[in-house]
Structure 1
Amino acid sequence: MTLDDIISMGQTPVVAEKKNPLGEPGETVKHNVKRLRESVGLSYAELARKLDSLGRPIPVLGLSRIEKGERRVDADDLVALAIALDASPIALLMPETVEESEPASLMGKPITAREMWNWLRGDQLPDALEGNALAFVVRSRPRWTINLEMPAPTIEVDGRELK
């Protein structure tokens, strides 16, 4: 029996609810994929070819489903899409905003666009999230970007500096 048969009999088809629908980050990614694809003037077919050349093929139907929120984007997809769209992965994860004070949301927690940007970069833990701010930065950033060394204290005795 087809969907048309069910509807013609006056019955309403039962559509299964998604067990795990897209959350805020997934909705942001789907919006940004479409926005960035359109801003660089790529068709689905052109983007699919670029992704294929990167070794991460996503067919035209898959790209369409991503933009409709019907297909999730995993970490490998996210990086390949960012490269193919000439953008940073952060550009796919960051809600589109114009002003840094615009409201954003991080898993339901209200924050500003600036706080979201700082969080994505690993620069600062938003006030809306609980945790140790220093530990957040240390865990979020490459070691070479963090200098936790304290200068050795110096003491002056009789005009000489002791270390």
Structure 2
Amino acid sequence: MNLGYADLARRLEALGRPIPVLGLSRIERGERRVDVDDLVALAVALGISPTSLLLPDTGDSDDPVTATGIDGTAGDLLGWFRLHTPSAHIGKPAARRFVRDAIRFIADARPRWDIEGLTLEQLPGVGHQEYAAEIAQKARRADGNDSR
């Protein structure tokens, strides 16, 4: 997207979350912190997902990345952002325990309405049907993901 600071600043102003041109320049240089409201407003103004702004620019999902407290691959980080991968497994080889933990993470991290329609094919580690019952049970709970 060929959008200059001035145009982006105008879009943010129209959204009710003004960030001046100097602030945008500092954000891009890593000299200004961004809170969640800024992140969402920037994503809306740019027409992208907030997740896109959080991911480092890499050429491949296997490229190594570092985020605060996490060292792994770009694919690992995206999996965590998408609520597919527990942070404890980022940068570690996949294993049977990962599948169980990932399914529990999905069941605990996502709202009930988001997991009700999931199929086995959409879960990590397809073929581990013994864990599918656990996520299905959590999806049916009346209290959603409030009790852990």
TM-score, structure 2 as length reference: 0.65
Check if 1:118 corresponds to 2:88.
no
Determine the structure 2 residue equivalent to 1:146.
115
In 2: Cα distance, 1:88 partner to 1:138 partner: 23
Runs of 4+ in structure 1 off by over 3 angstroms are 128-135
| 1:13-162 superposed matches below 5 A | 40-126=1-87, 127-128=89-90, 132-147=101-116, 148-149=135-136
Unaligned runs of 5+ in 2: 93-97, 117-134, 138-148
Q: Alpha carbon RMSD of aligned pairs, Å? A: 2.3
Question: SS of 1:149's equivalent?
Answer: helix
Q: Percent of aligned pairs with the same residue? A: 50
Between 1 and 2, higher relative CO (CA 8 Å, sep ≥ 6) is seen in 1
Q: 1:143 offset after TM fit, Å?
A: 1.8
Q: How many corresponding residue pairs?
A: 111
Structure holding more helix per residue:
2
Q: Which has the larger radius of gyration?
A: 1
TM-score, structure 1 as length reference: 0.60
